Amino acid sequence: MEHTPPPFFKRGPAPLVRLFFFASLSLALLVLDARFRYADGLRNSLALVAYPLQRAATAPIDFFGAMGSYLSTQVQLAEDNAALRAKTLTLAQNAQRYEAAEAETAQLRRLIGATEKIAVKATPAEVLYAGRDPFSHKVFINLGAHQGVKPGSPVTDEVGLVGQVTRVHPLISEVTLLTDRDLAIPVQVVRTGLRAVAFGAGASGMLELRLMAANAEIQNGDRLVTSGIDGTYPAGLPVATVVRIERDAEHSFARVVSKPAGGVDRGRYLLILSDESARPPRPEGAEQGKDRRTDKARRARTKDKGKDGDGSQ
């Protein structure tokens, strides 16, 4: 049945040739993006093209939300008002005590000659939609470079840490959630002051403390907060609560699983934290390591993979 078509039926290169062409083009892009992050300019302009569609997709939900609030009854509003007023009262009391404590801390810090703590600015943002990618845990928020969002800023909700801004487009930004496998957060156990690094555990929606010695002093119900020693997250933000510890004599490390405190997979409103003041410059030696920081997660992961492989054998 094979006929060679007459020349006037020619339709350009054969489909297989085209497939090879586009496949190699995609592979080149993939490598550029994954290994070298060269494709960010292209990504930004493409994201801007997709932006109207994304806004349109979330518009019906906004609309129904607005309709719902418009139709909410007088009684409900009065109830809400009363509840909120009571909450404000208790919060105001807490705030007063907090102010007093802050003043006291500042004074004590001055006494011992430590640097004063940096005031942190919080910008409210709204989640537009979750990233359509089963491999990672990301959400997109409605503020971008135009509103002054900077990559690397921590993101919280009213309870605790939620994630970190990882990519900033002109009008929206991408927030990687705590539970993503690529995110690592330096934490501290409130009860003992023990420092650790929490990694996202992926699909389970939990956090994992890696490289904890098997005899580390940690127990179920321990609260974890940011330690603030990395200069990215302000100290003392609630991160998670320990829910399970597996100590196995075979391994020298304990497996510590904890549940995020903040609403990682729920809630629509988030706060982007940013400190205005300039940080002290990094020491000379650390500057070189800065490039490698992006590889940190990957290296940790390969290490982890190796460990898993050993476990299965």
> Given the complex with another protein, which of 110 and 299 has the nearer CB atom?
299
- Shortest distance in whole angstroms from residue 313 CB to another protein: 19
Closer residue to another protein in complex, CB, 110/146: 146
**Residue whose CB is less far from another protein, 116 or 295:** 295
CB nearer another protein, residue 25 or residue 82? 25
The least distance separating another protein from the CB of residue 203, rounded to whole angstroms, comes to 6
Query: What residues make contact with another protein under the rule CB under 8 A?
Result: 11, 15-16, 18-19, 21-23, 25-30, 32-34, 39, 42-43, 46-47, 49-50, 53-54, 56-58, 61, 129-136, 138, 140, 167, 174, 181, 202-203, 298, 301-302
| Closest distance to another protein from the beta carbon of 312 (Å) | 14
Q: Which is nearer to another protein, 129 or 253 (CB)?
A: 129
Question: Smallest gap, in angstroms, from Cβ of residue 45 to another protein?
Answer: 8
Handedness of CA 76, 77, 82, 83 (dihedral sign): positive
Kindly state the smallest distance separating residue 66's Cβ from another protein, in Å: 16
